[in-house]
Structure 1
């Protein structure tokens, strides 16, 4: 309902990620592009912020300064890091109450989160880029889009919140309902992707920290731009390895090459696939506003087809 209310106002769904003119996103799949002016401050914001007023979270939304980067600060999330190097200016004026807000609609009741339902993470991507320690944090997020699908033999088209586009392309500026040519009942927006405690889960058990295998992945906060856009996690076909690594089929300890995604599309490993704490599958939000339970045993090409909003691959199979 929040997505559709947003569409009623802006005549499009929110984009997965937006950046200011000084921080051009050349390829959303690769994150922020080169800073093009000395005052650029990596200012980008995501769909999780845009729909807050339609989730009865106007106070949280009002606390966001869209002129500065979303939700970064010190380890305690009490203030911004100070960066003074020329060309690396960083400004953040978000209140700690905003950074730590828990949004009930973003949380699945079945996920075993801590009592506070908040997390804090080191952002090694921006920390490396700015030469300072920068953190993200806030209420947890159990639902994300799918950035891309690796190890597949089917072009999944473009998702409604797909970030693998350049500015001006479908998805980068928000998708209109009329552009969902596969039909809103045949296209999903979000799926369950839960990581309680910032842990990597395999077959329902925590086995490591999310960041152990791949730098750059934090999560799972709604104020984490990488997690909320599905940026660093990529769906793997059953039994496949993460092709971002080149040190062997799946490498060896300590996780060189990454662990495989497991034998199923979801609930095998939340590092590389959708993950819920439901038996047999996960809940997905469809573009028509309905919620569908997808079986973890569904055909991978079916899931890819349902992700694409304009690929012409309308499925009639049971979810």
Structure 2
């Protein structure tokens, strides 16, 4: 992306800030911007880049799961979310145009702007996925986080994959409907019931294999309601202890790994950072230009 545009992608795109973590803005995420570089040019081309990411026109792509965004160790991955978030700031502040990270509202950070050095500035990190997140295409706390809290501070108490993001609905297709067993029944000869349909030559699927793949398959669609009704501020998680989320609190990083999380630096290196690392150094790594010399042995 940097070679094509001479800057890193915007963390999120919107007409104004700060970003509120509700489906009421334009909110095209940094992940949307790099889809062609993830070998997802078709998804990128099918987006309507003139409309909100939450528009009906953009739902087919928004409901498209990207495996590259899944941490293999994550038990909270939903298929529509992202295990990874960009660094928008070193502090717990709203996502806005004046953040000191590398991916934030309408940002176009060049490598020359990372005066602390790309090898000493964090770009991306792992995070938990919670049920209020709006998916990988949303430039909200779903894809952006900060260093305002320590790594793995708020480990979720759930143990299963999360469901659908706000605004999604799901239909379970049964085998007795238009899909599944009924779909293949008309293709069978009259004596099929007496044959062993579970065995087919190598490389071919049996009828039962086809049925098992189709039965219980899911169809997703967007709720036929105003996006403003999908999620309320009162639904958002508490980020700052003792204070309800006003809608713009973001939160930090975390993972299912014991003792810390994986992070990508702006130079492309990947490093596991301990949840017990020095808090000052942790925040300095999230600031692209604070002028602080960070010794390698401190992190």
Q: Moved runs in structure 1, 4+ residues, more than 6 A?
A: none
Question: Residues 104 and 296 of structure 1: is their aligned pair in 2 closer, same or farther, counting only changes over 3 Å?
Answer: same
Matches within 5 A, 1:215-254: 218-219=132-133, 221-230=135-144, 235-236=148-149, 250-251=241-242
Q: Distance in 1 between matches of 2:21 and 2:254?
A: 23
Higher RCO by CA contacts (8 Å cutoff, separation 6 or greater)? 2
Cα-to-partner distance string for 1:260-307 (whole Å, 9 max, x where unaligned): xxxxxxxxxxx8431101111000011011101100000111111111
Instruction: Please say if residues 147 and 282 of structure 2, whose CA atoms lie closer than 8 Å, have aligned partners that are also in contact.
Output: no
Distance 1:42 1:150, change over 3 A: closer
CA RMSD of aligned residues (A): 3.2
Q: TM-score, normalised by structure 1?
A: 0.56
Is 1:8 the counterpart of 2:3? The answer is yes
Instruction: Work out the CA distance in 2 between the residues paired with 1:174 and 1:31.
Output: 21
Q: Is the 8 A contact 2:281 2:298 kept in 1?
A: no
Partner of 1:179: 113
Q: In structure 2, what is the Cα distance between the partners aligned to 1:31 and 1:221?
A: 11
Cα distance, 1:113–1:226 mapped onto 2, change above 3 Å = same
Contact 1:17 1:44 in 2 (8 A): yes
| Matched-pair contact (CA < 8 Å) for 2:84–2:124 | yes
Partner in structure 2 of residue 203 of structure 1: none
The CA deviation at 1:258 is 5.5
Hey, what's the Cα distance between the residues in 2 that align with 1:14 and 1:190? Answer: 13
Indicate the structure (1 or 2) with the bigger Cα radius of gyration: 2
Indicate the larger mover: 142-151 or 10-19.
142-151
The aligned runs of 1:253-268 (5 Å cut-off) are: 257=243
By how many angstroms is 1:43 displaced? 2.9
Distance 2:74 2:264 in 1: 17
Deviation of 1:234 (Å): 7.2
Quote how far apart the aligned CAs of 1:143 are: 0.8
Give distance in 2, aligned partners of 1:282 and 1:308: 18
Secondary structure at the aligned position of 1:303 is classed as helix
Shift of 1:113: 3.9
Match of 1:110 in 2: 73
Contact 2:12–2:140 (CA<8 Å) still a contact in 1? Answer: no
Which one of 143, 152, 155 corresponds to residue 84 of structure 2?
143
Are 2:136 and 1:192 aligned?
no
1:141 CA displacement: 0.3
Cα–Cα, structure 1 residues 184 and 161, in superposed 2: closer, same or farther, change >3 Å?
A: same
Instruction: Mark the CA change 1:220 to 1:106 in structure 2 (over 3 Å): closer, same or farther.
Output: farther
Match of 1:294, SS state, is strand
| TM-score normalized by the length of structure 2 | 0.59
CA distance in 2, matches of 1:314, 1:234: 18
Measure the CA separation in 1 of the matches of 2:63 and 2:20.
27
